[in-house]
Amino acid sequence: MEDLLIGVIGSGGRGGLARYAHRPGEGSRVVACCDVDRSVFERNMAWYGQDVFTTVDYRELLERDLDAVFVTTPDYLHEEHAVAALQSRKAVYLEKPMAITISGCDRILRAAKENSATLYVGHNMRHFAVILKMKELIDSGAIGQVKVAWCRHFVSYGGDAYFKDWHADRTLSTGLLLQKGAHDIDVLHWLCGGYTETVTAMGGLTLYDQVTDRHDPRERGNARFVQSNWPPLTQTGMNPVLDVEDVSMMLMRLDNGVLASYQQCHYAPDAWRNYTVIGTEGRIENLGDGIGEDSCVRLWNVRRDGYSAKGDETFPLSHETGGHGGGDPSIVAEFLRYVREGGEIKTSPVAARYSVAAGCMATASLRNGSAPYPVPPLDEDLLAYFG
């Protein structure tokens, strides 16, 4: 078996994910890296060998003989980089969110269709043990027919990770309801078996606007998690443009009648997601989400007049090694298998598009008096092709 030859556009930052694809002699190896920050190449050579091709121009990377490309650049570049890679007929692993606009997503889908190129969107939460356990319980009928799903998202690292660089600028991210929420909207769609048809949302920039210390616009902000940046109002070095919400709350009506909600706060002291899904015969909820701590999913399916903390059944979560509790090695392995052999995959380009579409329309709603907005459906031909 010859190794698949892999390229990475945006080989610093999240681009480190491609290390899981570097298995020389075992099926795949990273042979080309692109980043506008040349200092990244030293790390790339340490990971992939001194002979790895490096460039600051993604078009040079795409001219090379590659089987697949990881696009791990910032969100506002996904459309340009993914479309170009698909047009050069490389298989593409595209980080979430697929793009920062609905039209951007649809352009990417069209490029994949027109060039018969493989598109895989990196919604790694579909590989998290906590989500897989909830999906398994729902599919087994443990809570009957799903009717309602709620997600509360606590983001302790928000002030560091999302308010010191491009994430904080709505022209580059649309907003954090899309940027971060794309994961959870996708998970809600997956667990509930439908796509959002109508959204309404409320939110605001409620805390970080009070932090006046900004970094020089010519410099890159330090978006690394620093334990001592607490409480949040003591943060410094924020992005010069800071106009995204730090609290967002959205309500969704899905096309199968399920009602869902998602709440996100970027100055919580802890970092995890709490999902609960209620069906016609019970409720499941995760306590902890399995990243860095002991966590479980609990089932309540016996009627009682009050609360039982231990529920009716508890499902501990396995702890795998590797990024995001094992989700990252698992999703990269699935992508490589899909490029080589095709077959079933847990993620879906159509679902990725619908998570962006719901996130974009919810962002429009929260910025326009919480007006309800319909989510534009995907063109029939694209739906049929990817369906």
Ligand X SMILES: NC(=O)c1ccc[n+]([C@@H]2O[C@H](COP(=O)([O-])OP(=O)(O)OC[C@H]3O[C@@H](n4cnc5c(N)ncnc54)[C@H](O)[C@@H]3O)[C@@H](O)[C@H]2O)c1
The stretch among 4-12, 110-118, 235-243, 354-362 that binds ligand X (CB under 6 A) is: 4-12
Report the residue from 124, 156, 263, 363 that binds ligand X according to the rule CB under 6 A: 124
Q: Does 14 bind ligand X (CB under 6 A)?
A: yes
What letter does residue 93 receive in the DSSP assignment?
A: E
Strands of the sheet with 296-300, listed across from one edge:
313-316, 296-300, 282-287, 272-279, 146-154, 259-265, 247-254, 196-204, 373-374
Convert 35-52 to b/e letters by CB count within 10 Å (16 or more is b): beeeebbebbeebbeeeb
Q: Does 12 bind ligand X (CB under 6 A)?
A: yes
Convert 111-145 to b/e letters by CB count within 10 Å (16 or more is b): bbbebebbbbbbbbbbbbbbbbbbbebbeeebbee
Q: Does 72 bind ligand X (CB under 6 A)?
A: yes
Cβ neighbors of 51 (< 8 A, separation 6 or more) are none
**Residue (284 or 289) nearer to ligand X, CB:** 289
Scan for tokens 């090695």, then name that residue: 329
For CA atoms 78, 84, 85, 89, the dihedral sign is positive
Q: Does 37 bind ligand X (CB under 6 A)?
A: yes
Q: Does 325 bind ligand X (CB under 6 A)?
A: no
Which string of DSSP letters, residue by residue, matches 233-271?
GG---B-SS--S-SEEEEEEEETTS-EEEEEEETT-SS-
Report the residue from 8, 18, 30, 34 that binds ligand X according to the rule CB under 6 A: 34
| Identity at 157, one-letter amino acid code | Y
Q: How many C-beta atoms lie closer than 10 Å to residue 88's C-beta? A: 17
277 close to 149: Cβ distance less than 8 angstroms: yes
**Residue (58 or 335) nearer to ligand X, CB:** 58
**Residue (313 or 322) nearer to ligand X, CB:** 322
**Residue (30 or 254) nearer to ligand X, CB:** 30
| Identity at 300, one-letter amino acid code | W
- Residues in 84-113 that interact with ligand X by CB under 6 A: 95-96
Q: Does 347 bind ligand X (CB under 6 A)?
A: no
Q: Does 15 bind ligand X (CB under 6 A)?
A: yes
The stretch among 28-36, 134-142, 147-155, 275-283 that binds ligand X (CB under 6 A) is: 28-36
In angstroms, give the least distance from the CB of 217 to ligand X: 15
Of 31, 105, 101, nearest to 351 (Cα)?
105
Q: Does 326 bind ligand X (CB under 6 A)?
A: no
- Residues in 42-61 that interact with ligand X by CB under 6 A: 58
Report the residue from 4, 48, 69, 75 that binds ligand X according to the rule CB under 6 A: 75
In angstroms, give the least distance from the CB of 108 to ligand X: 13
**Residue (67 or 165) nearer to ligand X, CB:** 165
Q: What residues line the site for ligand X (CB under 6 A)?
A: 9-10, 12-15, 34-37, 40, 58, 72-75, 77, 95-96, 122, 124, 165, 324
